[in-house]
Amino acid sequence: MTLVGLTLAEAVKARALELGFDRVAIGPAEPPEHGAELEKWLDAGYAGTMGYLDRGRGDRLDPARLLPGCRAVVAVALSYNVEKEAPAKEEGSDWQPVSRYARGRDYHDIMRPRLVELGEFIRAAAGAGVTSRAAVDSSAVLERDLAARAGLGWIGKNTNLLTPSLGSYFFIGVVLTTAALAFDHRQPDRCGTCTACLDACPTRAFVGPYVLDARRCISYLTIEHRGDIPGELCDGLGEWLFGCDVCQDVCPWNRKAEPAREPALRPAGSFGPLESLFELDRDAFRARFRGTALSRTKRAGLLRNAAIVLANRGEQRAVGALSRALGDEDAGVRHAAAWALAKLGAGDATAC
């Protein structure tokens, strides 16, 4: 691509779309507007055991700490709305309890190389002395806040970024750059008086509009949290094995969200019945879920979650697998299996 007839910002946007991103917007690389709210959120303990958020607090409050001299943020969206409904059940397949974003390849592996390539394009197009840094959600940057200010969307009451055309079923990536780029206009908050997301949360994780207590969030509990899940929240997990889509699925903006175009995000292979997970040792777990987001829970987390889901479903056929899990090497798996057996009427444990 050449810059003939295009401004630098226009060329950057065109290149982002060529790389497969669905939307792109450009905004200032200034300290995030909601930095004070982040600090209050962390101080209130709403991050739970995600200590890395607090350790990276300073970096998250100033993009210049990640890239000195940065002037602009190129924010991109990649839709993962592969299927409007949960995929139809096939023999030996059961993807329903997995959040739709995690059913295909790990999005980090898809997005990061493209973001790096976009940063290289900016450097080459802008000239000598320009530097860039790509970030997905594994870097200490408030990408959602920066993306909202760039005009990629607005932050909804469920704390997700929303756009009129993609809803909230998309990943966010950013490229911080020292290049001087023209900024886009912000989008207004279009949530209005709607509280569907707040009302639908199975574990009442929202303190109020725009404020989430992660310690009660199913996505946090099934992915980020290590060890036992509090007994009073086990029932609330319902059938969610990994993540949760409830607050997104009820959002009116997601009813007509455009479908995803990225084939790598489609469900990968056959998941299999949940009780089969208890047959996986550490090596088998790594081999089965390598390259997917599900590997983040590690074996112990996914088996813990599976035990809770099987009990919440009333799966009597799983009693044998759960009974064998009472001897698992991980205490969290043993505790979850005991809770599940008790709920199924096959044991006497009372806590998860």
The alpha carbon torsion through 340, 343, 348, 349 (nearest 10 deg) reads 50
Q: What percent of the chain has pLDDT over 70?
A: 93
User: Confidence band (pLDDT; 50, 70, 90) for 92?
Assistant: very low
Which of 202, 167, 254, 216 shows the shortest CA–CA distance to 97? 202
- Predicted local confidence at residue 87, as pLDDT: 45
- Predicted local confidence at residue 56, as pLDDT: 83
pLDDT in tens, 157-186: 999 999 999 999 999 999 999 999 999 999
The mean pLDDT of 3-16, rounded to a whole number, is: 84
- Catalytic-role residue among 59, 137, 189, 228: 137
Q: Is the pLDDT of residue 4 over 90?
A: no
For residue 199, indicate whether it is catalytic.
Answer: no
Residue 241, token pair as written in the block = 């094995």
Neighbours of 255 (CB within 10 A): 10
Burial pattern 93-114, b for ≥16 Cβ within 10 A else e, equals ebbbbbbbbbbbbbbeebbbeb
User: Confidence band (pLDDT; 50, 70, 90) for 271?
Assistant: confident
pLDDT in tens, 236-248: 999 999 999 999 9
Q: Which residues contact 270 (CB under 8 A, 6 or more apart)?
A: 90, 92, 93
Q: How far apart are CA 139 and CA 309, in angstroms?
A: 32
- Predicted local confidence at residue 57, as pLDDT: 86
The structural domains of the chain, with segments of one domain joined by +, span 8-87+100-177, 196-343
Q: Is the pLDDT of residue 269 over 90?
A: no
Residue 49, token pair as written in the block = 């055991």
Q: How far apart are CA 257 and CA 249, in angstroms?
A: 11
Which of 148, 118, 136 shows the shortest CA–CA distance to 172? 136
Residue 165, token pair as written in the block = 């055309």
- pTM for the whole thing? 0.91
- Predicted local confidence at residue 70, as pLDDT: 95
User: Confidence band (pLDDT; 50, 70, 90) for 89?
Assistant: very low
Q: What share of the chain is helix, strand, coil (3-state, %, to 5)?
A: 45, 10, 45
Token match 């055991």: residue? 49
Residue 69, token pair as written in the block = 């001299």
Which is it for the CA torsion 133, 137, 141, 144, positive or negative? positive
Q: How far apart are CA 109 and CA 264, in angstroms?
A: 10
3 or 182: whose pLDDT is higher? 182
Q: Which residues pair with 73 in a beta bridge?
A: 27, 176
Q: How far apart are CA 7 and CA 181, in angstroms?
A: 9
Q: Which residues pair with 173 in a beta bridge?
A: 76
Q: Angle at which helices 298-313 and 282-289 pack, to 10 degrees?
A: 80
